Amino acid sequence: MRVGLTGGIASGKSTVSALLTELGAVVIDADALAREVVAAGTPGLAAVVEEFGPALLRPDGELDRPAMASLVFADTEARRRLEAIVHPLVFERIVELEASAPADGVVVHDIPLLAESGRATGSDRGGFDAVIVMDVPEEVQVARMVADRGWTEAEARSRIAAQADREQRNALATYLIDNTGTLEDLRARVTEVYRALTSSGGTDA
């Protein structure tokens, strides 16, 4: 079973990913894989250095991510060249991870911008059997970003405004997870959703 997991910033998606992993799901985080495929010593990093030059390497052999980000955000063509290296490697790892999952297992794709990408729309939900959406009010998101990340309220609201709104995300949900309670409340709801996924084929909201 292929499941999409999404949620706005500071909605607790990373915590839910960890809880689903504990329950036995195979969680695939494309952002994490994008970092993995260009780690020190990988063919991916070698390809990046060949394309963009050794100035992007740190002394410890790792990719200088801030320097890379500065380069690609200022240059659309450079970003496309980087994506041409990284995206196929990430896709290859996704295929490997899905293939390694048990035949009756649950594979969860952690996709922060699922609503923005439009991937889960249409009759086939973008190939997902179910979509889990983390739901918290904007005021809770703001409070968490101010407290946990040290951002100003204006910075927090700006980041929220750059994402899909709450209604757009929630419209995708097969399962909606409210994350305004305690960790134990969240654990109980995630367990409930996981059991539904493994018993019903992911069709019960």
Which ranges of the chain does DSSP label H, i.e. alpha helix? 13-23, 30-36, 43-52, 65-73, 76-100, 114-117, 138-149, 153-161, 166-170, 183-200
pLDDT at 33: 92
pLDDT at 42: 96
* CB-CB contact of 5 with 177 (8 Å): no
Please indicate, yes or no, whether residues 148 and 170 belong to a single structural domain of this protein.
Answer: yes
Handedness of CA 19, 21, 22, 24 (dihedral sign): positive
DSSP 127: G
For the residues 52-74, what does the mean pLDDT come to?
A: 91
pLDDT at 127: 83
Please indicate, yes or no, whether residues 49 and 95 belong to a single structural domain of this protein.
Answer: yes
pLDDT at 123: 54
Other beta carbons within 10 angstroms of residue 18's beta carbon come to 12
Please indicate, yes or no, whether residues 97 and 155 belong to a single structural domain of this protein.
Answer: no
* Spatial CA neighbour of 36 closest among 44, 26, 25: 44
- Among 104, 133, 149, the domain-final residue is 104
pLDDT at 31: 84
Please indicate, yes or no, whether residues 2 and 45 belong to a single structural domain of this protein.
Answer: no
Please indicate, yes or no, whether residues 112 and 184 belong to a single structural domain of this protein.
Answer: yes
Please indicate, yes or no, whether residues 21 and 46 belong to a single structural domain of this protein.
Answer: no
Please indicate, yes or no, whether residues 62 and 121 belong to a single structural domain of this protein.
Answer: no
* pLDDT band of 50, cuts 50, 70, 90: very high
pLDDT at 114: 87
Phi and psi at 4, nearest 5°, equal -95, 140
Distance CA 161, CA 142 (A): 11
Tens of pLDDT, residue by residue over 140-160, are: 999 999 999 999 999 999 989
Expressed as residue numbers, the domain containing 52 is 33-104
* pLDDT band of 111, cuts 50, 70, 90: confident
Helix (H) / strand (E) element for 56: namely none
pLDDT at 201: 55
- Among 75, 104, 133, the domain-final residue is 104
Distance CA 152, CA 131 (A): 31
Tens of pLDDT, residue by residue over 147-203, are: 999 999 999 999 899 888 999 999 999 999 999 999 999 999 999 999 999 986 555
Q: Which is more confident, 27 or 103? A: 27
* pLDDT band of 126, cuts 50, 70, 90: low
Amino acid identity of residue 203, one-letter, is T
For the residues 56-70, what does the mean pLDDT come to?
A: 93
Q: Is the pLDDT of residue 205 over 70?
A: no
Please indicate, yes or no, whether residues 128 and 90 belong to a single structural domain of this protein.
Answer: no
For the residues 11-16, what does the mean pLDDT come to?
A: 94
Please indicate, yes or no, whether residues 145 and 94 belong to a single structural domain of this protein.
Answer: no
Domain count, the chain: 2
The CATH number linked to 114 is: 3.40.50.300
- Among 45, 73, 104, the domain-final residue is 104
* pLDDT band of 120, cuts 50, 70, 90: low
Please indicate, yes or no, whether residues 139 and 40 belong to a single structural domain of this protein.
Answer: no
Six-digit token string for 198: 């493994």
Please indicate, yes or no, whether residues 138 and 195 belong to a single structural domain of this protein.
Answer: yes
Spatial CB neighbours of 98, under 8 Å, sequence gap ≥ 6:
2, 26, 28, 107
Supply the mean pLDDT for the chain.
90
Please indicate, yes or no, whether residues 55 and 9 belong to a single structural domain of this protein.
Answer: no
* CB-CB contact of 44 with 38 (8 Å): yes
What DSSP assignment string belongs to 5-29? EEE-TTSSHHHHHHHHHHHT-EEEE
